[in-house]
Amino acid sequence: KAGVTQTPRYLIKTRGQQVTLSCSPISGHRSVSWYQQTPGQGLQFLFEYFSETQRNKGNFPGRFSGRQFSNSRSEMNVSTLELGDSALYLCASSLGDGNSPLHFGNGTRLTVT
Amino acid sequence: GEDVEQSLFLSVREGDSSVINCTYTDSSSTYLYWYKQEPGAGLQLLTYIFSNMDMKQDQRLTVLLNKKDKHLSLRIADTQTGDSAIYFCAEGRGGGNKLTFGTGTQLKVEL
C-alpha cells in the first residue's frame, strides 16, 4: 500500500505570494491533517479534514486554509506569505475513526525569501 | 495546559538499550504515540499505546505508560546506528487527529 504522498517536495516563494501544497492520503483513509514544523515552534497542528469537512482547527491565522476533495486528497493554501511561514509542512492521514494512528508523509519544505 | 516535555538529547553506545522519556499534562489523552524523524524526512510512526494500557511491546520497542505521573517512555533494545534520529512523543484526545507533540529527543548512537 502506498504511503502518504506530498507534492512538491521543495518550494521557494517570495514574500507576499501564495502557495498551494498537495497531499494524497493512504488508500482508504478519510482523514487528512496538516502540521507545520519549525525549529522554533516545533510541530504544530494546522487543521484536519474528514469527508471534505474541516473537523478541527489549530491556532493559525486565516491566511492558512485547506480543503479536501471527494477522493480524500487534500490541499493546503497559504496566502500573503511571510518569512516566518518558512517551514516543513507535514500531512498525515488516518481512517479517522478515533482509533487509528496518523501516518505522515515526507513533507513539503517551503522557503519564503 | 497541553505541554508535552522531552529531554533534548540522548547518547548511547551501539548494542545498549536506549530509554527516551516524555511527560504530558492532559489527563484526558486517549492515545500516546512515538514517532521517529530522520534528517530530511517526515515522521515515521513507531508505536502507540491506548491510555488504558500500561505497556506495549513490539520487537525491540517497549512502551511504558504511567498514567498517575503522566509519564511515557520508549525503550529501544540493542540500539543500532540506524536508530540515530529524533524521537517525538505525542498525545491525542478523543476522536480527532489533533496531536500535541513534544520537542523531540535527538538520539545519537555511538560505536
Task: Provide the mean pLDDT of chain B.
Answer: 92
The amino acid at A44: Q
CA distance linking residue B67 with residue B29, whole number of Å: 10
Cell 522554533 locates to: A40
Res. B1: pLDDT tops 60: no
B97 contacts A104 by C-beta, under 8 angstroms: no
CA distance linking residue B54 with residue A33, whole number of Å: 28
What per-residue string of b and e applies to B54-77 under the rule 16 or more CB within 10 Å gives b? eebeeeeebbbbeeeebebbbbbe
What's the pLDDT at B2? 59
| Shortest Cα distance, chain A CAs vs residue B60, angstroms | 20
What's the pLDDT at B65? 95
CA distance linking residue A21 with residue A12, whole number of Å: 12
Residue with the larger pLDDT of the pair B1 and B50: B50
B41, B95, B99 member nearest A102 (Cβ): B99
pLDDT-based confidence at residue B96 (cuts at 50, 70, 90): low
CA distance linking residue B89 with residue B7, whole number of Å: 11
A7 contacts A22 by C-beta, under 8 angstroms: yes
Res. A110: pLDDT tops 70: yes
pLDDT tens digits, A65-74: 999 999 999 9
Span A15-31, average pLDDT? 97
A55, A90, A104 member nearest B96 (Cβ): A55
Span B64-71, average pLDDT? 93
Span A53-81, average pLDDT? 96
**Nearest C-alpha in B relative to A98:** B95
